[in-house]
Structure formats: C-alpha cells, structure tokens
Structure 1
Amino acid sequence: MYVNWSVVEKKRNVEAIEIRTEGTADDDGADHDSQAEDGIILKKAADSDDRSSEISLSDEPTSTERSELEEDGPPVYHQTDHDRTADDAKRKNREFRKKLNQDARKTVSDSVHKGIRLIVHRPEFDRDLQQEYFRLSKELMPVVRETARKVMPLLEHEVSLEFAGNHYYGGKFQADRTAYRDFRYFAKKLPPTESPSLAVALRVDESASMSAFGRLEAAKRAVLAVYEFCRICHIPILIYGDTADISKLEQMSVYAYTDLDQVDADDRFRLMGIRARSNNRDGMALRIIAERLAVAPQQTKLLISISDGQPKAMEDYTGNYAALDMQQTIAEYERKGIAFLAAAIGQDKDVISQIYGQERFLDITDLQQFPAKLVRIIARYL
C-alpha cells in the first residue's frame, strides 16, 4: 500500500499535512506518476503497524525550533566559545589601548607638548603582514639564534651571594636563631637569577623620509631581529613607532607594536605594519616611551631611537627648539636610570649626533649589517 503526503499549506510552521492512501501494490505506473506529482510517496512495509498512517503534528514549533527562530524574524545564531574568546580579546585590547592613551597624555601634560592632540594606536595585522614577517625572518633568524646562543650561557647559572634565613635546614648555621627554639636555625642560598635584569625599548621614526633609500626595510629588519633576540633571551621588549601631523585632529600618532604590560605572540606580525607616514615630533615620542620604560622593574633600561632625520613637526617644532626639548628629555630620564642610544640611518647623522651626544650615537652606514649590529649592541648590556 502507498501513502501520498500532500502539502496543503505552508507558512512559517507546518500547519497541516493531508495523508491520502491511494492504490495498491498492483497500481500501474501512470497512477504512480500522478501521485509523485502530488507529493511524496511512502511505501508501507509489510510488517508495519496500520497505525503508522495516523500521524499527528502540532502547529506549535518544538523548543529547538523556537530557540533557533526569532518571532517573525531571521534565525538566531548562538555564540560559540571561539566567538566569546574573540570578543574577550577585543574588549581587553580596547581597554589596554584606552589605558595607553591615558598614560601617554598624562606623561606629556607638563611638557612643551601639552595640548598636542595625541592618539596611541594598537595596530592590527593581516595575512599580508604575516607573510612579510615569514619572508624577513627566514633571512634573519640564523643570525639572531647564533647571537642568542652565545649570550644564553651568560644568563644561566648565575651564583647568588644572598641567603634567606629561618629555615629548618640549609647551608649556613645561624647561632643567634637558637634563642627562638623554633628549630629554624639555618639559612639557604637564594636560587640563581635566571632572567636578565634588562628591559629594552625601540623607538622607530615613521616619518615620510623613511621611505627613501631602503631605510624603512632596514628599520623593519632591525626591529624584527631585536624583537626575536629579546624573546629568545626572555628580555622584556617595548617597540613603538611614531609620526606627527597626520591631521589637525591627530597631531601626534604613536603605534604600540609591542608593550611591556601586554605580551602577545602576534606582536611579531604587527611589527610589519611599520610605515613611512608624515612628520616627526621626536621629543614627545621619547618622553612617552621613556616613561613606560622608567617604571619597569629591571635594573638596566635601554632605549634605542631609530631615525633618519632631525625633528620637524608643525607648527614650529624644529631646529634649536626641538633639539633642546630632546636634550632635556634625555637628561631627565637618564637621571631615572635610562640609557639612550640613537641609531642614525639617514642624511642628518651629524645633527642627530649633536642632539644625542657622541657617546649615545650609532652611525649606521651599512643598512644590511644594521640588524646584526643592533642585536650585538643589546647583548653587551646583559
């Protein structure tokens, strides 16, 4: 026996299904075809119960259907764990970027840069930047790993000369502790310091002139090499880029590619977003970066500025005025324990040398050797 299901009406939910029983197993093909045009043909099995033809469907959708549909609207898609994780990451990134902006504006509020419209960006990255990173790292990583291999033995197995007392056993007996009768009569030697007491910051000039003569490519390669070297050696690393006068509403732009307070393995891809943009307000950038470095707990703090020219920003931030601001900033933060180096890779090397002083000046003539040279310089501070 055959059962013909014919759909009478269909709106948002199934309202009714008419079941018609027509023909027998001996019906001819023509009758089958007419039934196929009407609806879906179901063949009843020999051992099936006759009651199977009595099918009742409720007009009300099931609980599952209700959860997937809005009333008279599109489907509702439930948030997955992956979506929630992505949303949390975006929220944390927004909060971190907000804090960076607040801290930076507070830092410059008592300086000559007060009133300058400042925005600190936390750059994103895409597949193209990832591919660029893989291209550059393939060339640079052998040099970075070799330098790190030579340095790592110096960072390990450091012997501590300090002892911590009040132990039940140890390598040093403290006779004066016997009066307490608590059996804590020994001192133990403290474990060796495994992490280097060094923090590094790189400031990258992203002025328009960096696009000339391969300077931008050299800066990226150097930044990548320093970043990977510091990661291997567990050295905290901060890398900011900056430019000025993108617009009247954004007189100073800072790009936080990596930061001491939020370490992200994807920062290596963000570094590939370094660009040649507009002018450069060097003193303001140095002050913001130096302040973040000054509060780091490490004993040695090194700030390296990579630039191809002298400071120049609207309206009148240039010449002696800008040079004096930079020198005062350097002197102020040197008193707070920060060491400055200027890596000059452009035509204004003499001016940069005068501003920073010869003892803080690095003349980078061979841009191809720049990454390896910068890594070796940082290794000397370990």
Structure 2
Amino acid sequence: MDLDRPADDDAIALKKSADSEESSSDAANDSDGSDDDAGMESSDLGESSAPAYHPADPEPVSEEAKRQERAFRKKLNQDAREVVSHSIHHKVKLVVHRPDYDQANQQEYVRLSKGLMPIVQEIARKTLPLLEHEASFDFARNHYYGSKFQADSVAYRDFRYFAKKRPPTESPSLVVGLRVDESASMKAFGRLEAAKRAVIAVYEFCQECHIPVLIYGDTADASRLEQMSVYAYTDFERTDANDRFRLMGIRARSNNRDGMALRIMAERLAVTPQKTKLLISISDGQPKAMDDYTGSYAIQDMQQTIAEYERKGLTFLAAAIGQDKDVISQIYGNERFLDITNLHEFPAKLVRIIARYL
C-alpha cells in the first residue's frame, strides 16, 4: 500500500448518484435486486485454511426475494427518519440504501481478503476458548440451592444463599456496529483501501465468533434531494452470506454529517438484547456538510449524541485514519480515541480491540 502518494483533489461536487432521485421516496427502488439468493461459488479451503471464494455471476433473484428486500429497505428508511425526527437533523433529506454487489465486487473482496483471513482466524481461534471458559464459570446468584455458597447473601435472610452455574451460551453477549465515513477525502493516501480491509477483517471475525454486526457507510450532500445518504451493507436483522461482497461498495463520495450517522446506528444498537454494544467509527476528518454543519456546531451535536447513547449502554470508539486526528480526539475524548498511524496494521489492530470486549 502506497502511503506516500499525493492526496487527490478533495473538492466536493454535488453530483446526484444514479439512484438518489429514485430513492428519495419509499415507493421507489423497485429496480434494485435483493441479495438473498444471489450466487457465489464457494468454498474450498486454500493453503491457509481460509475460505477460497470463486467469483461467479450473481444468480437471478426471485420476485419474492425482491419484494422482501424492498420491504426491508423501506423499514430501514422509516426507522432512520423516525430516529432523527426529534434531532437537529429533522429537516435533512435522508435516504437509506441497500447496496447490491456484482462480479467486480467479488473479485475485489478476494483480492483484499488475501492475507487477512489467516490473521482473523488466528485471533478468533484464541478468543473462542476464552468465551467458552468465561461462559462455563458464569454463576446466577440468589438460588435456594446450587453448587456455590454466596456468604454475602446470608444478610438478606431469604434463604437464597447459593449460586448456580449458567450453561455456556451459544454466542457472546456483544453486538458490534462499524460506521465508515465515505467522505471524498477518504480516497487520499490509501485510506479507502485500508478502511475496506479493516471492514473485511471485522466482518469475518464477527462471523467466526457469531457476533451480530452492523456495518453502515454514510456521506452527505449527494444532491439537493438526498442530503444524507446511508449505506446499509450488513444488518443483523437481515443477514446474507453475500454481504461480504456488498462491503466492497464502500466509496469516497461527498461530505460527512457524522452526528446524524452515529445517531441512526446507535439507535439500531441500543434496542438489541446484547449486554455490550460497541459502535466504532472509522473516519479521516472532522464533520463537514452543507449548509452549516461544521465547526463547533457539528462537534457539539456529535458529543451530545455520544453522551445520550452512552447513557443507554453504548460504548463508542473512533478510529482516526486521516489528518484531523487531533480534532477527532477532541470530539470523542482520549478514552474513546484510536490513533491509526500504520494503515497496514489497522485491520488486525481493530479486530484485537473488538476481541477485548468479549
């Protein structure tokens, strides 16, 4: 990865995406295909024991699958608009997309995942036994009988002096949200490819460890009819093995309205049953969107959003991969800030951080 090549021009052009105008109403988007039954030829094991995905043309999608996909996309749009309806973003024209994938995305996934899967699988291999050990030694207190006497319970005089060992759970009590800044400046200095590799690593690690994962990208000011664009690449409510290929649709696009993106994703995580809810933002710069979402106004919105959802049990982390690291650290606070200096090491570092929360 070439980290020394000059930055691309970061000027923002308000260019309407091909489907943005059509997507502006809930009734539109009928032309988008669902991915439920889309094809891939898999999955012999390579020398590294990593799955070897062979790109194949996506298979035709049934009309029922298309209908279900449209219904899910409509629900995502309705939920997102409801979440921001009582915030400073209530007048912003919002569209939530469910990106499709093609053979080029499959090929890019295969290219970027090479070398990553052995690392991810090794971290998962070391993590899973710890999860099983911790689960087997998790005790439920306040029982009339059990295998462990709780001396501190005697004071309550209700005879519930024992603890019983809980059975190991099938999956860890963790849900992960990964937000990717898709602002135009992400195309500079190899940041976009580094973000994609990190996203692949996180997604595959969560699959290995059976962790629900939510991966969204976002950009602002794609057009006057689409002032905020959210891209739902993976969602724990509608999982699909081909989501890994959707992830390759992450792009450097336009501006960034960070507080709105964080609010939408945080609300999705807040209502999940998992005990630990981790939301990580990958970004290369400070918030900036039309007309005046920038500076102290945008920073205050982000900090208020973080504080609001931390009270609801969320944990926030910010992975800063660009030039505005000092500003991102100021916004999130030192305790939530990850300074990613070496982009090549970013994927493994991010996976190891997530593993600590298990």
**Both proteins in one fold, TM over 0.5:** yes
Deviation at 1:165, TM superposition (A): 9.1
Asked whether the equivalents of residues 164 and 189 of structure 1 are also in contact (C-alpha less than 8 Å), the reply is no
Structure 1 residue 110 corresponds to structure 2 residue 86: yes
Aligned residues of 2:139 and 2:164 also touching (Cα < 8 A): no
Is the Cα contact below 8 Å between 2:282 and 2:321 reproduced in 1?
Answer: yes
Q: Distance in 1 between matches of 2:100 and 2:203?
A: 17
1:151 alignment partner, one of 127, 149, 164: 127
Instruction: Show the counterpart of 1:366.
Output: 342
Structure 1 unaligned regions, length at least 5: 1-80, 173-186
Secondary structure of residue in 2 paired with 1:347: coil
SS of 2:244's equivalent in the other structure is helix
1:164·1:190 contact (CA, 8 Å) conserved in 2? no
Q: Which residue of 1 aligns with 2:238?
A: 262
Q: Which amino acid aligns with 2:324?
A: D
Q: 8 Å contact 1:156–1:194 — kept in the other structure?
A: no
CA contact (8 A) 1:203 1:286 kept: yes
Indicate the structure (1 or 2) with the bigger Cα radius of gyration: 1
Matched with 1:318 is: 294
Residues 144 and 84 of structure 1: CA distance in aligned 2, closer, same or farther (over 3 Å) = closer
- For 1:190 and 1:163, the matched residues in 2 are separated by 10
Aligned: 1:342 with 2:318: yes
Give the structure 2 partner of residue 351 of structure 1: 327
Amino acid at match of 2:181: D
**Residue 167 of structure 2 is aligned to residue 191 of structure 1:** yes
Deviation at 1:189, TM superposition (A): 5.6
Measure how far apart 1:161 and its partner are. 2.4
| CA–CA separation in structure 1 for the residues paired with 2:81 and 2:320 | 28
Name the residue aligned to 2:248.
Answer: 272
What is the TM-score when the length of structure 1 is the normalising length? Answer: 0.71
Please state if 1:221 is matched with 2:203. no
Any stretches of 5+ residues in structure 2 without a counterpart? 1-36, 39-58, 148-162
Aligned pairs, number: 285
Cross-structure match for 2:109: 133
Equivalent residue number for residue 211 of structure 2: 235
Please list the CA deviations of residues 106-131 of structure 1 after superposition, one character each: whole Å capped at 9, or x if unmatched: 00000000110000000000000001
Q: 1:299 to 1:85 in 2, by over 3 A?
A: same
How far did residue 359 of structure 1 move? 0.7
* 1:159-174 equivalent positions in 2, closer than 5 A: 159=136, 160-162=138-140
Deviation of the 1:139 alpha carbon: 1.7
Q: Say which SS state the counterpart of residue 162 (structure 1) adopts.
A: strand
Larger relative strand fraction: 1
RMSD over equivalenced CA pairs, Å: 2.2
Q: Deviations over 1:324-347 (max 9, x none)?
A: 000000000000000000000000
Offset at 1:162?
A: 3.4
- Give SS of 1:97's match: helix
Separation in 1 of the partners of 2:238 and 2:351? 23
TM-score by length of 2: 0.76
Structure 2 CA distance for aligned equivalents of residues 165 and 110 of structure 1:
44
Larger RCO, structures 1/2 (Cα 8 Å, 6+ apart) = 2
Task: State the Cα distance separating 1:192 from its structure 2 match.
Answer: 1.6
Residue 302 of structure 1 and its aligned partner are, at CA, apart by: 0.4
Task: Judge conservation of contact 1:155–1:194 (CA < 8 Å) in 2.
Answer: no
Q: Provide the secondary structure at the position in 2 that maps to 1:106.
A: helix
What is the Cα deviation at residue 137 of structure 1? 1.4
- The letter of the residue matching 1:335 is R
Native 8 Å contact 1:210 1:276 kept in 2? yes
Taking every aligned residue pair, what percent have the same amino acid on both sides?
75
Q: Secondary structure at the match of 2:80?
A: helix
